[in-house]
Amino acid sequence: MVDGPALARTYVQNGLGWLDQFAPAGWENRVNIPELRLSMCANCVLGFVFGDFESARVGFHLTRGKCVRLGFLGTGRAAGISLALIANEGDSVTVANNTELEGAWREAIVARLIAMSPSDRLVTTGGGWRALV
């Protein structure tokens, strides 16, 4: 069995690929890394990129199980995930912990931002946008 952090990293890698395919170019710049919270619809990865978790999930026809496998949905206090809902969708999946997923997302996004050319490194902060130096 895959341990928690490794499972989270695997799911986040899946999510990175999905976002590269379906999100606008430069989506990494939209994620407010310090404010990233998977338990909050507007402050999760899909929330920052598309405005709201549930709207993006429904709009892209993502099942909850698919969201788990893409690292967009995990377990934790106030996560709002129901294994019964996933089972009702005909799916069975191992769910990663929100804290581990958030750490994996932060690590992956920061690595991508650092790899970008300096002119493309704009990140959001609580008060607006700034260049990542």
Please state, in angstroms and rounded to a whole number, the distance separating the CA atoms of residues 38 and 55.
15
DSSP letter string, 89-113: TT---PPPBHHHHHHHHHHHHHHHH
pLDDT at residue 30, rounded to an integer: 94
Higher-confidence position of 70 and 1: 70
pLDDT at residue 121, rounded to an integer: 58
pLDDT at residue 126 greater than cutoff 70:
no
**31: helix, coil or strand?**
coil
User: Alpha carbon 59 to chain centroid distance?
Assistant: 16
Average pLDDT, the chain: 83
Overall average pLDDT of the 92-118 stretch: 88
The domain spans of the chain are: 4-131
Give the strand pairing for 128-131 and 122-125. Answer: antiparallel
pLDDT at residue 116, rounded to an integer: 82
